[in-house]
Amino acid sequence: MSQIFHHSSNTLARITIFGAVFILAFTAWVAEEFFRGAWSTRASQIREQPVPFSHAHHVGGLGLDCRYCHTTVETSSFANIPPTKTCMNCHSQIWSTSPTLEPVRASFRTGNSIQWTRVNDLPDFVYFNHSIHINKGVGCETCHGRVDRMSLTWQENNLQMDWCINCHRHPDQYVRPREAVTTMGYHPAGDQEAIGRRLVQEYHIQDPRVLTSCSTCHR
Amino acid sequence: MRTRSMVEWAFSLPCRLPWRHRKPSILFVLLAVLFSSACRQDMHDQPKYIPLRPSGFFPDHRSERPLVEGAVARGNLDDDDAFYAGKGPDGKPVDTFPFPVTKDVILRGQSRFNIYCAPCHDRVGNGAGMIVRRGYRHPPSYHIDRLRTVPNGYIYDVITNGFGAMPDYAAQIQPADRWAIVAYVRALQLSQNATMKDVPPGQEIPTPQLLSPSGGRK
């Protein structure tokens, strides 16, 4: 009876066992890149909008505060998209004949909403609340990045749960004084660890055990 | 629906097929599972309205319905004219404040002023803000005699209803915050016209920081 396996099968088997480590690691890496990378989380991707609104111009250039337009961010779960009237506060006089802004004027004339595309979209089972974060000293920049440098708006972070949890575990590494929540390019005046620990106490930020409880974000 | 029935069919295959076909069909099922995973996002996109999610039901696609005209929510009848309109019973602007002006009120007013008013009126109230420098009509300085002598209710009314080229800020600033801004505008006016007589005796005066006309530090 002849051999079923050729002699070279020994080598092949050894290589396969050795290579399996790399194959598994590679698969894990591909999966990681796929599920957490920009392609599936849509981080750093510019969303197309009906009007090419530039935060870089309005915030970085003119120095408008975030809350001039997003008025409800301190009091509501949702940071509102401004109504067309807010755009027209200035654009009734400035750039009032620009063809780029025609959708804005049309919306103001007719009363129909401008259909903006949502940029940061959390899953519906996450009950995120803007006001609590703003009032506890989490800056806009901490989650949304340097909006004052975004000519067109993108989602800065991947919005994965471990990204949320990271801050819920160590709020002292991220909080800033309430007066500076809308500041872009914030630098702590001193040691962030010391400032953070003081602010966590001062603002009564809950213990990480509470902050990382499931029902804090999921109900 | 179609996806689900196909998956069910694929899963039931290995049990119904004769032995010689089972192995490839199991492979097929594994492949099907691999390729069908993470396609459905039902829990991510639940059929419910979150703020500003569009609605297919209403012709204007708004899920947040505008109030029927004249509707007043219980407890929201704003009938205190002095507070909500800045006007007295005679219809003239009041010159009082509806609540005591404390340091907290002034600080609140400062923060609101710097958000909503400073883009045009500038941080010192001279009317040379960034938007004006970009072509908006120049508002008067707060420090002219006419505006220094107007009653508080007048400033409140301008914030609420607009004046001249200035649009109204009723939607962006809540009534209590408008009053806080009025208080801060009064403080700004005081700051630009203070004399030595206003300083309490014994109070030390810090060295003034020079301001450029645009309000920035020199």
Which pLDDT score is estimated for B216?
A: 45
In tens, the pLDDT along B142-194 reads 999 999 999 999 999 999 999 999 999 999 999 999 999 999 999 999 988 88
In tens, the pLDDT along A195-211 reads 999 999 999 999 999 99
Helix A102-110 to helix A84-91 angle, to the nearest 10 degrees?
120
Task: Kindly tell me if the per-residue pLDDT of B215 is higher than 50.
Answer: no
Which pLDDT score is estimated for B162?
A: 94
In tens, the pLDDT along A127-176 reads 999 999 999 999 999 999 999 999 999 999 989 999 999 999 999 999 99
A34, A71, A72, A129, best to mutate vs chain B, most B CBs in 10 Å: A71
Q: Which domains does chain B have, with CATH numbers?
A: 2-36 (no CATH), 81-194 (1.10.760.10)
State chain B's mean pLDDT as an integer.
84
Which pLDDT score is estimated for A33?
A: 84
CA distance A24 to A122: 31
Whether residue A85 and residue B44 make contact (CB cut-off 8 A), yes or no, is no
CA distance A140 to A155: 12
Cβ-proximal residues to B134 (8 Å cutoff; 6+ apart), any chain: A62, A94
How far CA B14 is from CA of A54, A133, A190, B32, B80, in Å, comes to 57, 52, 66, 13, 76
Task: Kindly tell me if the per-residue pLDDT of B59 is higher than 60.
Answer: yes
ipTM: 0.85
A143 vs B19 pLDDT, higher one: A143
B48, B111, B122, B172, best to mutate vs chain A, most A CBs in 10 Å: B172
Residues of B in contact with A68 (CB under 8 A): 115-116, 119, 172
Residues of B in contact with A179 (CB under 8 A): 111
Whether residue A113 and residue B62 make contact (CB cut-off 8 A), yes or no, is yes
The mean pLDDT value for A31-57 works out to: 88
Which residue in B has a C-alpha nearest to residue A70's C-alpha? B172
Whether residue A124 and residue B111 make contact (CB cut-off 8 A), yes or no, is no
Of B113, B97, B119, B120, nearest to B179 (Cα)? B97
Residue B202 Rama label (left phi>0; alpha psi -120 to 50; beta): left
Which pLDDT score is estimated for B218?
A: 37
Query: Which residue among A93, A123, A124 places its CB closest to the CB of B135?
Result: A93
